[in-house]
């Protein structure tokens, strides 16, 4: 092994990026002192999206979901005070064959690149701003509006819509909450019908009006920014839905626009039309001349049923071990002496725990759905509804 520096650049420091960053930093202490990690995120904090449903109704809790990356990195192998590794708060706007370009024009060279920029939900599941203070201000506005609203329409009955409906109805007994979903049952269709039946039942116990098989027509100028805006929308059945605050929980935006220049330069398409980044089974970028680029987490082209933190983490573990193989072998992209990398075979999520307010919830594992049963309530309130795993994730990242 030569003494040359090996630069591993990781863009997007959340579940996937943090996991790879920590593994590579650990490797640098195990006989690879010339390994350097550069961790880049556009925000100064890790955003714990999993807890967003509670944040919508609880201002104090919303602050807990914004954990400064400096704090997380300092207590891990990736000490930002260690001059070898660094954290840069900046947006990556472009990628070349051997560097990433930041919004201020600065370029950072890489030998290995990890793209873990995720996929964005809409507000309130995703509240924004580069600093903790910005994001807190944004959520605080949303909290005030939700508190003032009388009739709330939630469009989309996936886990995010169900959890938000449950939190609002549990926290504010006097509001009209309507949840409208286009499919015949709530929650992803790879889970059992009993899970949906239980979710409908438990939401209705909290006073939520649930409408299935109904597609809401959305005029293109509809904002869905969680402001107070009296609006009447029509469903495919012809029914009208009047509300003063609307929440849209369908559709995600892949964070991958920074690949456009590279696509032009290489004259290839590195992304699907929905913006997801194409990957090989090894989670390498699907581009033979750039086999030193890996894409774990929500931003890659694995099916929608893999867009879970649990899966992002599994993928990151697989990427970290493939990266370690390449680094140990002294992979050289021009000599094409690539080691045998392992393929990621994690598939789709087959377990789910969905809180419906603080006391109710539904749960499926090992092919058994606990819908109407008290088991879902018990699992949810004991395991998830207290803090939506925020302390667990923070502790895991810090160690
Ligand atoms: C409301 C809600 C509830 C959820 N509940 C669960 C659950 O219970 N269980 C579960 O397993 N999963 C859950 N998920 C899914 C989970 O949050 C995601 O699967 C997970 O966050 C994906 O992690 P990631 O690291 O791939 O990307 P993300 O968490 O999306 O992070 C991407 C990072 O990249 C950064 N970034 C983006 N673009 C750039 C750029 N151009 N330059 C620099 N940085 C950039 C972002 O700032 C961000 O930090 C939930 C999601 C939501 C929205
Ligand atoms: C809820 O809706 C009903 C009609 O469906 C209406 O009578 C009632 O005033 C509404 N309550 C609130 C708090 O807006
Ligand atoms: C780009 O690729 C397409 C087909 O993939 C080809 O037709 C075209 O000539 C290429 N353009 C350049 C400039 O190489
Ligand atoms: C985006 O496209 C890819 C490839 O066609 C697909 O696997 C993925 O499920 C799509 N994403 C969503 C959210 O539909």
Q: What is the pLDDT of residue 336?
A: 60
Torsion over CA of 51, 76, 327 and 302, rounded to 10 degrees? 0
Superfamily designation of domain 132-251+350-398: FAD/NAD(P)-binding domain (3.50.50.60)
Q: Mean per-residue pLDDT for 10-32?
A: 93
Average pLDDT value for the chain: 94
**How far is residue 35's CA from residue 26's CA, in Å, rounded to a whole number?**
10
Kindly state the tokens that stand for 385.
């509804």
**How confident is residue 4, by pLDDT bands cut at 50, 70 and 90?**
confident
Ligand 2 contact via 174 beta carbon (within 6 Å)? yes
pTM of the model: 0.96
**Residue 154 and residue 164 in contact, taking contact as beta carbons nearer than 8 Å:** yes
Percent of the chain's residues with pLDDT above 70 = 96
**Residue 151 and residue 244 in contact, taking contact as beta carbons nearer than 8 Å:** yes
Kindly state the tokens that stand for 316.
């990151």
Query: pLDDT of 220-279, one tens digit each?
Result: 999 899 999 999 999 999 999 999 999 999 999 999 999 999 999 999 999 999 999 999
Domain ranges within the chain, ordered by starting residue: 6-122+252-329, 132-251+350-398
Residue 334 has pLDDT above 80, yes or no: no
Query: pLDDT of 375-393, one tens digit each?
Result: 999 999 999 999 999 999 8
Ligand 2 contact via 151 beta carbon (within 6 Å)? yes
> Could you give the angle at which helices 193-205 and 159-171 cross, rounded to 10 degrees?
20
DSSP-derived 3-state class of residue 38: strand
Ligand 1 contact via 21 beta carbon (within 6 Å)? no
Most confident of 83-97, 183-197, 320-334: 183-197
**How confident is residue 335, by pLDDT bands cut at 50, 70 and 90?**
low
CA-nearest residue for atom 13, ligand 4, is: 304
**How far is residue 317's CA from residue 324's CA, in Å, rounded to a whole number?**
11
Q: How far is the CA of 95 from the centre of ligand 3 (A)?
A: 20
Ligand 1 contact via 17 beta carbon (within 6 Å)? yes
The answer, yes or no, to whether the previous bond of 124 is cis (omega within 30 of 0) is yes
**How far is residue 192's CA from residue 361's CA, in Å, rounded to a whole number?**
15
Q: What is the pLDDT of residue 215?
A: 98
What b/e string do you get for 241-257 counting C-beta neighbours within 10 Å, with b at 16 or more?
A: bebbbbbbbbebebbbe
Q: What is the pLDDT of residue 80?
A: 64
Residue to mutate (ligand 2; options 148, 176, 207, 243; most atoms within 8 A of CB):
176
**How confident is residue 333, by pLDDT bands cut at 50, 70 and 90?**
low
Q: How far is the CA of 198 from the centre of ligand 2 (A)?
A: 25
**How far is residue 75's CA from residue 376's CA, in Å, rounded to a whole number?**
35
**Residue 116 and residue 317 in contact, taking contact as beta carbons nearer than 8 Å:** no
Ligand 4 contact via 303 beta carbon (within 6 Å)? yes
CA atoms within 13 A on the CB side of 107: 8
**How far is residue 111's CA from residue 48's CA, in Å, rounded to a whole number?**
30
CB proximity list for 283: less than 8 A, separation 6 or greater: 294, 295, 296, 300, 315, 318, 319, 322, 344
Residue 77 has pLDDT above 80, yes or no: no
Q: What is the pLDDT of residue 233?
A: 97
Residue 70 has pLDDT above 90, yes or no: no
Place of tokens 């009006």: 209
Task: For residue 119, give the ligand 4 atom closest to its CA.
Answer: 13
Q: Kind and range of the H or E element at 390?
A: helix 390-398
**Residue 38 and residue 85 in contact, taking contact as beta carbons nearer than 8 Å:** yes
DSSP-derived 3-state class of residue 113: strand
Q: In the chain, what are the helix, strand and coil shares in percent, each to the nearest 5? A: 35, 25, 45
Q: How far is the CA of 372 from the centre of ligand 1 (A)?
A: 30
What b/e string do you get for 310-342 counting C-beta neighbours within 10 Å, with b at 16 or more?
A: ebbbbbbbbbbebbbebbeeebebeeeebeebe
Class of 6-122+252-329 per CATH?
alpha beta
Q: Which residues, listed in sequence order, are joined to residue 36 by a DSSP beta bridge?
A: 7
Ligand 1 contact via 302 beta carbon (within 6 Å)? no
Q: What is the pLDDT of residue 127?
A: 86
CA-nearest residue for atom 12, ligand 4, is: 304
Q: How far is the CA of 277 from the centre of ligand 4 (A)?
A: 10
Ligand nearest to the backbone CA of 173 = 2
Q: How far is the CA of 121 from the centre of ligand 1 (A)?
A: 9
Task: For residue 305, give the ligand 4 atom closest to its CA.
Answer: 9
Query: pLDDT of 350-370, one tens digit each?
Result: 999 999 999 999 999 999 999
**Residue 360 and residue 372 in contact, taking contact as beta carbons nearer than 8 Å:** no
Place of tokens 């499926």: 364
**How far is residue 117's CA from residue 7's CA, in Å, rounded to a whole number?**
19
Kindly state the tokens that stand for 303.
């099916």
**How far is residue 270's CA from residue 248's CA, in Å, rounded to a whole number?**
29
Q: Mean per-residue pLDDT for 2-7?
A: 82
Query: pLDDT of 133-161, one tens digit each?
Result: 999 999 999 999 999 999 999 999 999 99
Task: For residue 160, give the ligand 1 atom closest to its CA.
Answer: 1
Q: Kind and range of the H or E element at 353?
A: strand 352-356
**Residue 90 and residue 42 in contact, taking contact as beta carbons nearer than 8 Å:** yes
**How far is residue 177's CA from residue 187's CA, in Å, rounded to a whole number?**
18
Measured between alpha carbons, how far is residue 228 from residues 139, 141, 247 in Å?
A: 14, 11, 11
Q: Kind and range of the H or E element at 316?
A: helix 309-329
Residue to mutate (ligand 1; options 309, 315, 363, 365; most atoms within 8 A of CB):
309
- Whether 132-251+350-398 and 6-122+252-329 are alike in CATH topology: the answer is yes
**Residue 116 and residue 12 in contact, taking contact as beta carbons nearer than 8 Å:** yes
Q: Mean per-residue pLDDT for 116-128?
A: 94
């Amino acid at each position: 092994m030569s003494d040359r520096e090996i630069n591993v650049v990781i863009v997007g420091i959340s579940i996937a990026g943090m996991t790879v960053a920590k593994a590579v930093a650990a490797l640098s202490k195990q006989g690879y002192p010339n390994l350097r990690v550069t961790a880049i995120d556009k925000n100064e904090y890790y955003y714990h999206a999993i807890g967003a449903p509670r944040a919508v109704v609880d201002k104090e809790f919303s602050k807990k979901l914004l954990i400064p990356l400096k704090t997380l990195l300092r207590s891990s192998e990736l000490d930002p005070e260690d001059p070898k590794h660094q954290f840069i708060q900046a947006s990556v706007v472009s990628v070349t064959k051997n560097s990433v370009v930041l919004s201020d024009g600065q370029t950072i060279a890489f030998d290995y690149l990890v793209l873990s920029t995720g996929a964005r939900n809409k507000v309130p599941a995703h509240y924004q701003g580069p600093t903790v203070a910005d994001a807190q201000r944004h959520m605080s506005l949303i909290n005030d509006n939700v508190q003032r609203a009388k009739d709330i329409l939630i469009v989309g009955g996936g886990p995010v819509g169900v959890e938000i409906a449950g939190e609002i109805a549990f926290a504010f007994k006097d509001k009209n909450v309507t949840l409208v979903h286009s499919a015949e049952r709530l929650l992803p269709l790879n889970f059992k019908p009993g899970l949906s039946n239980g979710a409908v039942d438990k939401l209705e116990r909290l006073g939520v009006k649930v409408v299935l098989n109904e597609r809401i027509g959305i005029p293109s100028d509809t904002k869905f920014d969680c402001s107070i805006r009296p609006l009447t929308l029509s469903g495919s059945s012809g029914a009208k839905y009047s509300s003063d605050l609307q929440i849209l929980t369908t559709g995600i935006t892949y964070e991958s626009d920074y690949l456009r220049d590279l696509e032009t330069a290489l004259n290839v398409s590195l992304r699907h039309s929905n913006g997801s980044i194409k990957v090989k089974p090894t989670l390498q970028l699907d581009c033979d001349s750039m086999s030193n680029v890996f894409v774990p987490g929500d931003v890659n082209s694995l099916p929608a049923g893999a867009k879970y933190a649990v899966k992002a983490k599994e993928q990151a573990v697989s990427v970290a071990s493939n990266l370690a193989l390449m680094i140990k072998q002294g992979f050289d992209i021009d000599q094409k002496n690539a080691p045998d990398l392992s393929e990621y075979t994690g598939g789709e999520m087959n377990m789910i725990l969905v809180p419906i307010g603080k006391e109710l919830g539904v749960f499926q594992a090992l092919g058994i759905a606990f819908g109407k049963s008290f088991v879902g309530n018990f699992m949810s309130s004991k395991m998830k509804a207290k803090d939506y795993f925020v302390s667990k994730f923070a502790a895991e990242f810090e160690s």
